[in-house]
A = this chain, B = another copy of it.
Amino acid sequence: MSHPTAPEHEGRLAEPGRVETFSDGVFAIIITLLVLEIHRPVGAPGKLAGEILKAWPAYLAYALAFLYVGIIWLNHHAVFQYIGKVNMTITAMNLGGLGLVALMPFPTGVMADAFRSGNLADEKAAVLLYALVVGLMSAAWLPVFPYLGRHPELLKPGVNKATMAAQVIRPIVGVISYGLAALTGWFIHPLCAIAFFVFMVAYHAVTSQGVPVRWKS
């Protein structure tokens, strides 16, 4: 932004600054709104200590949702470390991904409600919904890395195409894992799906700086 250039002369590429600012704003709002899900305990006078303790599932849900959205932000952050320029396609892909992340509080809340009620059929429906949304979130990243690999002009100097091509493994693992979560959660037991969900949070955390490849640059 500090070096304005004629957009026409460089094929309408732009600095990624505004896309990052916008994405950071969306992530900041999503992550901050999560706390609104923790309701103040209401009860008879003198029973507050007990009420606070009984609400532990809400704290756990807050911590996990914050962790997950935070890790997705770290992943987003890491991908944009490679990107030197954005064009309309990358901007639109990013927007689609944000739209799915912004949806997160909905399936998370549905799942928390279902497990609180303890009805098995509802738990199955809830994990299916959750697997669908997070599976779509992974699928949204599928075209991003191959696209970046085919457009080296969007990458920062020194980032090679092989690095980008290697990253596609992450959304592939995501789509497969969430597919298996949906199948096992529906046909076997909802807790199978939960196991896959926890695994994917850990997987995203470990690989948040990108899958390593032998650098060739």
Contact = CB atoms under 8 A, between A and B. Distances in A.
A32 B22 CA distance: 11
Interface in A119-166: 119, 121-122, 124-126, 128-129, 156-159, 163
Nearest to A4: B156
A202 interface: no
Chain A, interface residues (CB within 8 Å), range: 35 or more
Contacts of A17: 1
Contacts of A157: 4-6
Interface in A67-118: 70, 73-74, 77-78, 80-82, 84, 88, 91-92, 95, 98-99, 102-103, 105-106, 109-110, 113-114, 117
Most chain B CB inside 10 Å of its own CB: which residue of A38, A80, A102:
A102
A22 B27 contact: yes
Contact of A158 (B8, B20, B102, B122): B8
Contacts of A30: 32
A88 to B, nearest CB: 6
